[in-house]
Amino acid sequence: MEVTLFSITVRDHVMVAHSFRGEVFGPAQRLHGATFVVDARFSRAELDSDNIVVDIGLATEELGKVLADLNYRNLDDEPAFAGVNTSTEFLAKVIADRLADRVHAGALGEGARGLAGIEVTLHESHVAWASYERSL
């Protein structure tokens, strides 16, 4: 059976500093900065009673709030990330999970409770990005 979904995507960006542990990371083991373009895609099987996936304004606002908690931070100093390699993939999951928490709390409106999933993509550059997709 084919699954079909409607989706909307909102975009913002976040600037962080961090370092990694492990030889696989080469020079990125040293403290460095990263600016990510962040896309958050919200999906559902059927449109809500207003014929939308989710309120784009609320989705944009809530993505901004989630990113504000990370923006201009040295992630190495954040207790939530102690001892963690905050890779692009890992940060995509963190942002998706925090957005899901906001959906469940009603911050994106009652209609958002019908969302099927969220996918967050962090673009490291014009040639490299990572995504995390989760159901709701």
Q: Which residues of 12-35 are buried (b: 16+ CB within 10 A; e: fewer)?
A: bebebebebeeeeeeeeeeeeebe
The pLDDT of residue 1 is 67
Reply yes or no on whether the pLDDT at 120 is more than 70.
Answer: yes
Domain of 45 in residue numbering reads as: 1-52+65-87+102-118
- Domain at 37, CATH number: 3.30.479.10
Within 8 A by CB and 6+ apart from 85, the residues are 20, 21, 22, 25
Residue 92, domain member (yes or no):
no
Query: Average pLDDT for residues 104-112, to the nearest whole number?
Result: 95
Residue 114, domain member (yes or no):
yes
Residues 40, 7 contacting (CB under 8 angstroms):
no
The pLDDT of residue 3 is 76
- Burial class of residue 37, CB neighbours in 10 A (0-12, 13-18, 19+): middle
pTM of the model: 0.96
Using a pLDDT cut of 70, give the percent of the chain over it: 99
What is the token pair recorded at 130?
A: 């990572």
Residue 129, domain member (yes or no):
no
What is the token pair recorded at 44?
A: 């559902």
Using a pLDDT cut of 90, give the percent of the chain over it: 96
How many domains, in total, are found in the chain? 1
User: What does the pLDDT look like over 14-32, one tens digit per residue?
Assistant: 999 999 999 999 999 999 9
Tell me which amino acid residue 7 is.
S
